[in-house]
Structure formats: structure tokens, C-alpha cells
């Protein structure tokens, strides 16, 4: 998951992820073969980079066309990309495949009230 340097990031989303950085785990399921993954994850990665989220807190999990990959069953992954944000093993927010806004904005809207421990 490489940040796209040409993507403009949403500053409100950056602020939310900056506030949460170091207090959450982010798991990202995707595949290079998937158009949604290829179009959405570089912008999400750019937001995380702009927010200085430690990459140790981000786990990228590759799945194949059959949606086989690590932790797929445990997290009920049926579409990609899927992004799950957790704190201490508790899911705080989930983005699945597509929305009317970018994954970063979608998740930030749901995480805005998730103050760090």
C-alpha cells in the first residue's frame, strides 16, 4: 500500500487519524488484481502518511480473487478493499469496498468520537 503523492488528502480525515495514531490497529485487505483496491488504497495510504500514523499499526493483507487470505474468515471479509480499525481487539469502524466518499473520509467520520485511551 503505497501513498499516492498526487492525491489531495482531506484535512479533517488527516486530523482524526493523527489524533488516533498509535492507539489503533488498522487492517487492510486488498488485491492488486482488484480495481477498487488499486484506485482507493493509494489515497488512503496518503492520508495515513499525512497523519504520521505509524506503519507498525497498519497490516496489509493480500487476498486472491477467491477472497482467500489471512484472517479472511475471522473478519468475515467478503469484498475488497476492506479496512478495519480496531483498538485493543475491539472493532471501531469498517470500510467495505466503496462508499460515496473516500475510505479515509468514511472511516474518519465514524472515528471522530473515538478518543485515544
4 in any annotated domain: no
User: With bands split at pLDDT 50, 70 and 90, how would you rate the model's confidence at 117?
Assistant: low
26 in any annotated domain: yes
Instruction: Kindly report, residue by residue over 39-51, the tens digit of the pLDDT.
Output: 999 999 999 999 9
Residues 53 and 70: their CA atoms lie apart, in Å, by: 23
- β-bridge partners, 83: 28, 95
Residues 29 and 37: their CA atoms lie apart, in Å, by: 9
79 in any annotated domain: yes
The whole model's pTM is what? 0.92
What CATH number is attached to the domain comprising 50?
3.40.30.10
C-alpha cell at 85: 480499525
Amino acid at each position: 500500500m503505497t501513498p499516492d503523492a498526487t492525491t489531495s488528502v482531506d484535512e479533517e480525515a488527516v486530523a482524526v487519524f493523527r489524533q488516533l495514531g498509535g492507539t489503533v490497529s488498522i487492517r487492510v485487505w486488498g488485491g492488486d488484481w482488484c480495481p477498487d483496491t488499486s484506485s482507493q488504497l493509494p489515497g488512503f495510504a496518503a492520508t495515513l502518511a499525512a497523519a504520521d500514523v505509524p506503519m507498525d499499526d497498519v497490516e496489509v493483507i493480500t487476498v486472491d480473487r477467491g477472497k482467500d487470505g489471512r484472517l479472511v474468515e475471522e473478519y468475515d471479509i467478503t469484498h475488497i478493499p476492506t479496512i478495519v480499525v480496531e483498538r485493543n481487539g475491539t472493532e471501531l469502524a469498517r470500510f467495505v469496498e466503496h462508499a460515496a466518499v473516500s475510505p479515509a473520509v468514511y472511516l474518519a467520520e465514524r472515528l471522530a468520537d473515538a478518543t485515544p485511551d
